Amino acid sequence: MKNTMHRALAALAASGGLLLAGVSVAPDSARATVSTVTETAVGDTYVSSSDPAAVHATSTKLYVGAGATTYKTYVKFDLTDRTGTLTAASLRLHTLGSGSGSAGSQTVSVTSGSWSESTLTYRNAPASGTSVGTLAGPSSSGTTYRVPLSISALQSAVGGTLSLVITQKVSDNLVLASRETTTPPRLSLSLDDGATSTGGSTSGTASTEAAVVNGWGAPVAGDEFNYTGAPDSTKWSVYNSAGHAGNGLRSRSQVTVNGSALRITGDAHGTTGGMSQRFNQTYGKWEARMRVSPGRDTEYHPVLILWPQQGSGTANNCAEMDYAESTKTVDNVSFFLHHSCSGAQAYASQTLDMTRWHNYAIEWRAGTVRGYIDGVKYFESTDASQIPDDPAHQTIQLDWFPDGTTTTPSWMEVDWVRVYR
């Protein structure tokens, strides 16, 4: 899928930078050192008004509801080993059953007091405090909610315990997975430790998501990769074919999900993997969290691509948007906007330690394409002649570019992929 101009452009960027017509690259500037961490709930339970003395500490299901019976879900996270200023937060909740909740009907709030799941009942449950988020709703079984949280009311919990309660505004219901399952409640936090870097490198940082920074709302598709085995076949088509440009093989056996991330591996003989998302749309936003294996001068290129659905329009012009690609080195990430079968492309590059987790995003609109790393724009094209207009889908690939030297085994991991309208 990718063009042979990649390496020449990458070398030009490394030697002094590159700016193409219609493309702007975000300048280097001082940045805060921000780390993103994920916490799993250390306590969760629910309470019910129909059985006010009951304890549900070991239940695999967490209920939220209003009407004849009121159900409230309580979730607790241990943040005692976390420090710094909170810059972003989101809550991941997985559904176990269909819910009738309408958009915004479920509210996430901090609690007004402490509690223990072994003794919590409807009678002694603390009241809701400040509201920090709402769920998108309605839901279907197997849905993973990602709920952006307001950080102002959460900062005081850093270095201590964060206790949340989920309640209903109207007569709806929701069934969530508890920490007794393989899809427990999880909290994602971005924390600024106060240090700054003034160089061009964002090495070691993994800051906020572009979706949070730019207010993209709730995802309409994606995968949290919080299961084990093969990628979800309802969401992904895994390649079983010759490799990139006919080199090596793409094998399904090289693509697995380990319970927390997607992992694609490439061996010493060019057997690797890749997959494409079944969800297509024209224009929108995509974001993925990725890291790659250490090693310089690797013959494997990990890449996140928007690939056009074949048909009419620009799909016949070799349109392709590679919004995060490593080309032989893990010290640099590149954006390639292919817009001609002759090899023409817009390009940008950013110094980065890709072996650490980073959030990569693309915003695709009529007449504009932007690329982001950790919520910071590093690519933009406003040349309408370069912008695709066919439906496109996410692909995740570890492509082999043999150069006659010994191939070192490699891997890439993706924590999650999210798609926005």
Ordered structural domains, the chain, with CATH: 6-29+205-420 (2.60.120.200), 43-188 (2.60.120)
Rounded percentage of the chain residues whose pLDDT exceeds 90: 48
Strand ranges in 293-374 using DSSP code E only, listed in sequence order: 300-308, 320-325, 332-338, 345-351, 358-365, 368-373
Q: Can you tell me whether residue 249 is helix, strand or coil?
A: strand
More confident residue, 197 or 405: 405
**pLDDT winner (highest mean) among 89-103, 129-143, 227-241, 379-393:** 227-241
* Residue 66 to residue 35: CA distance in whole angstroms: 38
Residue 199: partners with Cβ closer than 8 Å, 6 or more residues away: 28, 351
Burial pattern 16-46, b for ≥16 Cβ within 10 A else e, equals eebebebbebbeeeebbbbbbeebebebbbb
Q: Model confidence at 294, in pLDDT bands (50, 70, 90)?
A: confident
> How do 274-277 and 236-238 pair as beta strands?
antiparallel
Stretch 147-165: mean pLDDT, rounded?
90
Q: Other C-beta atoms within 10 Å of 329: how many?
A: 15
* Res. 194 pLDDT band, cuts 50 70 90: low
Contact 221, 284 (CB under 8 A): no
Q: Token pair of 394, please? A: 């996410």
User: What's the length of the chain?
Assistant: 421
Element (H, E) at 6: helix 6-16
**Does position 120 have pLDDT exceeding 90, yes or no?**
yes
How far apart CA 377 and CA 394 sit, in angstroms, is 20
Residue 58: partners with Cβ closer than 8 Å, 6 or more residues away:
180
Which tokens sit at 158? 């850093």
Q: Average pLDDT, stretch 290-296?
A: 82
pLDDT of residue 311: 57
- Look up tokens 């990139």; give the residue: 244
Assign 136 a pLDDT band (cuts: 50, 70, 90): low
Lowest mean pLDDT among 23-27, 31-35, 151-155: 23-27
pLDDT averaged over every residue in the chain: 82
Tokens read off for 88: 């972003």
Provide mean pLDDT across the span 202-216.
67
| Separation of CA 386 from chain center | 26
Q: Could you tell me which residues come within 8 angstroms of residue 352 by beta carbon, excluding any fewer than 6 positions away?
A: 201, 202, 203, 331, 332, 333, 358, 373
Q: Return the DSSP state at 385.
A: G
- Collapsing DSSP to helix, strand or coil, 12 comes out as helix
pLDDT for 417: 96
CA distances from 408 to 28, 247, 266, 270, 357 (A): 32, 15, 8, 9, 21
Rounded distance between C-alpha atoms, residue 62 and residue 72, angstroms = 8
The pLDDT, as a whole number, for residue 296 is 56
Cα distance between residue 335 and residue 382, in whole Å: 15
Biggest CA-to-CA distance, the chain:
72
pLDDT at position 396 over 50: yes
Which three-class secondary structure string do you get for 31-58? EEEEEEEEEECCEEEEEECCCCCCCCCC
Give the model's confidence band at 314: pLDDT under 50 very low, under 70 low, under 90 confident, else very high. low
Give the tokens for residue 392. 């496109």
Q: What is the pLDDT of residues 212-263, one digit of tens each?
A: 888 898 899 999 998 899 999 999 999 999 988 899 999 999 999 988 899 9
Gap between the Cα atoms of 32 and 198, Å rounded:
9
What confidence tier does 191 reach under pLDDT thresholds 50, 70, 90?
confident
Give the best-scoring range by mean pLDDT among 15-29, 338-352, 401-415: 401-415
Q: Does residue 105 register a pLDDT over 60?
A: yes
User: Considering Cα of 194, then 195, then 200, then 201, what sign does the dihedral take?
Assistant: negative
